[in-house]
Amino acid sequence: MTAAIVTPKATFVARRRALHAKLSGPVLIAAGEAPSRNYAANRYPFRASSHFLYLVGRPLSGAALLLANGRSVLFTHPPDPEDALWHGPRPALDAVSHELGFADEGGDVRPLDSLDAALAALGRDVGTLPTQDGASSTWLGERLGRSVVARSGARLTDARDASLADAMIALRLRHDDEAVAQLRFAASVSAEAHLAGMRATAPGGSERDVHAAMLAVLRRAGLEDAYGPIVTVHGEVLHSDDHSQPLRDGDLLLADVGGETPEGWAADITRVWPVSGRFSPTQCALYDVVLEAQLAAIDAVRPGRRYREVHDVAKRGLVEGLVRLGIFRGEVDGLLERGAASLFFPHGIGHLLGLDVHDMEDLGDRAGYAPGRTRSATFGDAFLRLDRELEPGMAVTIEPGFYQVPGILGDPARTGPLGDDLRREVLARYADVRGIRIEDDVRVTDSGHEVLTEAVPKRVDEVEAVMRNR
């Protein structure tokens, strides 16, 4: 098992310095609150804001980082005699200051109840970022004397907030060496989880067996889920969160599972394997079509390449493969123009990966789309989450799929343009494939790319070999 990696405090100092250099005024970045579940004292596990984690590295619930006039000041809860009884003792503020590098950079760590006075001294003329939930927005809004938006997709109407968002994006788009080490750690443990999932799969079992085996690997290594795990024999339900189905001989199981490190860095891996341990000939044929499209898309990842073109490479590879199988008839360019790819692959080829599994999607498309670019209006392409030129240091996922979604294949508005060139009598032979997705995490290097998740087998013979030895 890979040992946990702790980012040195000098990295957080360097990141805060880099942000200071991009700021034109004071900013406050809140960690967020832990929301309560069924009653106030029973809380959801706390997950700090990714922007806060990027700059501070520790999930300090309720804390906030103030960057003003070149100084970094962390406001957090001071030790309380009650802590020892309920949660264990908290470190003294000057210990936190040394541990997280604030002392080293001439910054400071102060009690949270002195934040309002510090903000008042700045005339509360302070930029901030959208929060993760309503409670955090309320808290932050009270501090700043204005409303602060919650959650993703929010349009930033305040110029100070927009400028802070752009500064964070400029830093977080390209990962530093310590971020890459975290991504590798998340990838390596998540890869082991997928191998454990393959080994826990057997006819007569349940999706829950596989789900539990995969999560056990993550938890033992200290990782939480980076997103809601998908472990399903209904891969055509793109984000299924049901894990209750029985595993039957002849089913394909789709697992989209990735962990996040204690510092918050994510992995995002999808594999598909046969419950029986052997792909049927029809499953094998379609799986290979998706795999070829995925390998072609990964091959296209390099600096300067526009990510939308990588999406197009995957769409073309998929349609070429489906023509080879006889599911489509005709010439590939024309089929693509008539929406052939999105009938079976109705989502984007992937997204940015970092501290968020969809990195910085809390800022809407501001991070994913280069200035001036907007989402396509075309079905399928509209779900593309990234449209930038790739640059060294970026990390993205590459995750094409093939799904037989009844709501799409039964919709004349979608299938009509293909007419008889969608050969349903051929498609009917592939009824034992409901959903396939193959997803890897790929880092853009100076000369090309590095697949961070290559430890998870994906060729048919490799997957079958793992399952033979289970």
Q: How far is the CB of 460 from Mn ion (least distance, A)?
A: 22
Shortest Cβ 439–Mn ion spacing (Å): 5
The DSSP code for 352 is B
In the complex with Mn ion, the residue whose CB is nearer, 107 or 400, is: 400
Q: Which stretch binds Mn ion (CB under 5 A): 29-37, 194-202, 231-239, 260-268?
A: 260-268
Is 268 among the residues that bind Mn ion (CB under 5 A)?
yes
Q: Which is nearer to Mn ion, 268 or 362 (CB)?
A: 268
Residue 354 one-letter amino acid: G
Q: Is 29 or 186 the residue whose CB approaches Mn ion more closely?
A: 186
Nearer Cβ to Mn ion (268/361): 268
**Cα–Cα distance list, 53 to 103, 105, 146, 355 (Å):** 18, 18, 24, 8
Q: What is the dihedral angle through the alpha carbons of 184, 187, 189, 194, rounded to the nearest 10 degrees?
A: -160
Report the distance separating Cα 33 and Cα 30, nearest Å: 9
Closest to 421 (Cα-Cα) out of 364, 346, 339: 339
Residue 211, judged by CB atoms within 10 A of its CB (0-12, 13-18, 19+), counts as buried
Q: Does 397 bind Mn ion (CB under 5 A)?
A: yes
Residue 190 binds to Mn ion (criterion: CB under 5 A): no
182 or 190, CB closer to Mn ion? 190
Contact indicator for 240, 264 with CB cutoff of 8 Å: no
Phi first, then psi: what are they for 98, rounded to 5°?
-75, -40
| Residues in contact with 126: Cβ distance below 8 Å, sequence separation at least 6, in sequence order | 25, 26, 27, 28, 66, 68, 119, 144, 160
Closer by beta carbon to Mn ion, 238 or else 463: 238
Distance CA 90, CA 391 (A): 41
User: Closest CB to Mn ion among 260 and 268?
Assistant: 268
H helix intervals, 300-328: 307-325
The DSSP H or E segment spanning 199 is helix 177-199
Within positions 12 to 51, which residues make up the interface with Mn ion, using CB under 5 A?
none
H or E element at residue 12: helix 9-22
Nearest alpha-carbon partner for 365 in 379, 348, 378, 341: 348
- Given the structure tokens 């593309």, which residue do they identify? 384
**Is residue 362 involved in binding Mn ion (CB under 5 A)?**
no
Nearest CB to Mn ion, comparing residues 110 and 351: 351
Neighbours of 324 (CB within 10 A): 13
* Options 276-284, 299-307, 391-399, 447-455: segment touching Mn ion (CB under 5 A): 391-399
In one letter, which amino acid is 407?
G
Residue 283 engages Mn ion in binding (rule: CB under 5 A): no
Least gap, CB of 397 to Mn ion (angstroms): 4
Q: Is residue 294 near Mn ion by the rule CB under 5 A? A: no
Nearer to Mn ion, 327 or 456 (CB): 456
Min CB(324)–Mn ion separation in Å: 27
Specify the stretch interacting with Mn ion by CB under 5 A; choose among 21-29, 209-217, 320-328, 392-400: 392-400
Number of residues that bind Mn ion (CB under 5 A): 2
Cβ at position 197, least distance to Mn ion in Å: 17
Cα–Cα distance, 408 to 406 (Å, whole number): 5
Q: Are 144 and 124 in contact (CB under 8 A)?
A: yes
Closer to Mn ion by Cβ: residue 359 or 464: 359
Binders of Mn ion among residues 421 to 460 (CB under 5 A) are: none
User: Shortest gap between Cβ of 47 and Mn ion (angstroms)?
Assistant: 18
CB of 269 to Mn ion, least distance (A): 8
Name the one residue in this structure whose structure tokens are 């790739």. Answer: 390
> CB atoms < 10 A from the CB of 213, how many?
18
- Of 141-149, 261-269, 294-302, 325-333, the segment contacting Mn ion by CB under 5 A is 261-269
User: Minimal distance in Å, beta carbon 193 to Mn ion?
Assistant: 15
Options 96-104, 187-195, 311-319, 395-403: segment touching Mn ion (CB under 5 A): 395-403
* Cβ proximity to Mn ion, 258 vs 321, nearer residue: 258
Q: Please state the closest distance from residue 350 (CB atom) to Mn ion, in A.
A: 6
CB of 130 to Mn ion, least distance (A): 21
| CB of residue 295 to Mn ion, shortest distance in Å | 17
Q: Is 120 exposed, middle or buried (0-12, 13-18, 19+ CB in 10 A)?
A: exposed
Question: CB-wise, 274 or 348, nearer to Mn ion?
Answer: 348
- Cα distance between residue 164 and residue 55, in whole Å: 13
In whole angstroms, how close is the CB of 437 to Mn ion at the nearest point?
9
Please choose, out of 72-80, 144-152, 179-187, 268-276, the segment that lies near Mn ion by the rule CB under 5 A: 268-276
Footprint of Mn ion (CB under 5 A): 268, 397
